[in-house]
Amino acid sequence: MSSKKNNKFTFIDLFAGIGGFHLAFHQHGAECVFVSEWDEPARKTYEYNFKKISPDVFKTGNFVGDITKVDPKKIPDFDVICGGFPCQPFSQAGFKKGFEDKRGNLFFHIADIIRKKKPKAFFLENVRHLLNHDDGKTFETIKKIIEDDLGYSFHYRIVKGTDFNVPQHRPRLFMVGFRNKKIPFKFPEPVKLTKTMSDIFGAPCEKKVGYTLRVGGRGSSITDRRNWDSYKVNGKVTRLGIKEGKKMMGLPANYVFPVSDAQAMKQMGNAVVVPAIAAVAAEILKTLEQHYAD
């Protein structure tokens, strides 16, 4: 049974956060058929912004919470599985327990869905430290499961926001693969960075490339080494707000946070840089178009 609807490729959005993958794939003509996000404030933001874009997901009960409680067979057919699976087990900020942390085990639920649904492709994202976690054993385990157990190809690259004209480094590990291992795939080449933090603030800023948005620690002094949200703008110390945060994540101007400012900043700290995801999404969809043209 084809999972192409109205000649569009379809995708599912796991560990969806505020929908960076959804925005990226939708921008390139793909259709979302299933979403999983357990965090209630993030669900509120997600539903507010995507109910008009993808109404069927919400009407059909395919906007779910805990993915571990979902039978993969009940997920609608789809072409691409997307997910920035929880990174705390692998990040510098976390305890780096990896697979020993139950959040790290969520990767195995992704593998189970791929095994049972057999999508044409996958696009997964995590912190760059996953590559070297436990002397590279964690990454090798993931790679082996995908290549040997599931039979998919496996391509990976560290991608930064600055690679796609967003003035925030935010290096992340992108992993892409196809059910047909013979399908060639190349990650898109970085573009020239023309935007700076002066563009983000709309006024002269001393820093050209911004700090990576984080989940906690807001409001540290500009001289504090933990500072990530204070900048010198027009010679004055200025705190990064939601408007500037949205620009740094590549979110559209009409994207709305129906939550508190603190919650909104936290959600952006957990999000993906949309232009970086969109560039890779476009390449995946172009590749599928070439090899699965109806």
Give, to the nearest 10 degrees, the angle between helix 20-27 and helix 274-291. Answer: 50
Query: What does the pLDDT average to over 48-59?
Result: 95
| CATH dotted code for 10-192+268-291 | 3.40.50.150
Structure confidence at residue 5 as a pLDDT band (50, 70, 90): low
Structure confidence at residue 135 as a pLDDT band (50, 70, 90): confident
| Residue of 32, 82, 87, 205 with catalytic role | 87
What percent of the chain clears pLDDT 70, i.e. is strictly above it? 91
Predicted local distance difference test score (pLDDT) of residue 241: 94
Question: In the predicted model, is pLDDT for residue 35 greater than 60?
Answer: yes
pTM: 0.90
Predicted local distance difference test score (pLDDT) of residue 103: 46
Sheet containing 172-178: give its strands across: 63-64, 31-36, 10-14, 80-83, 121-127, 172-178, 155-159
pLDDT (tens digit per residue) in 177-235: 999 999 999 999 999 999 999 999 999 999 999 999 988 888 889 999 999 999 999 99
Burial class (CB in 10 A: 0-12, 13-18, 19+), 246: buried
Q: Are 252 and 278 in contact (CB under 8 A)?
A: no
Predicted local distance difference test score (pLDDT) of residue 141: 86
pLDDT (tens digit per residue) in 201-210: 999 999 999 9
- Domains of the chain by residue range: 10-192+268-291, 197-259
What percent of the chain clears pLDDT 90, i.e. is strictly above it? 75
| Whether residue 205 lies in the annotated active site | no
Judged by average pLDDT, the poorest of 218-227, 233-242, 256-265 is 218-227
CA distance 48 to 123: 24
CA distance 244 to 156: 30
Q: What is the 3-state secondary structure (H, E, C) of the chain?
A: CCCCECCECEEEEECCCCCHHHHHHHHCCCEEEEEECCCHHHHHHHHHHHCCCCHHHHHCCCEECCHHHCCHHHCCCCCEEEECCCCCCCCCCCCCCHHHCCCCCHHHHHHHHHHHHCCCEEEEEEEHHHHCHHHHHHHHHHHHHHHHHCCCCCEEEEECHHHHCCCECCCEEEEEEECCCCCCCCCCCCCCCCCCHHHHHCCCECCCCECCCCCCCCCCCCCCCCCCCEEEECCEEEECCHHHHHHHHCCCCCCCCCCCHHHHHHHHHCCCCHHHHHHHHHHHHHHHHHHCCC
Question: In the predicted model, is pLDDT for residue 74 greater than 80?
Answer: yes
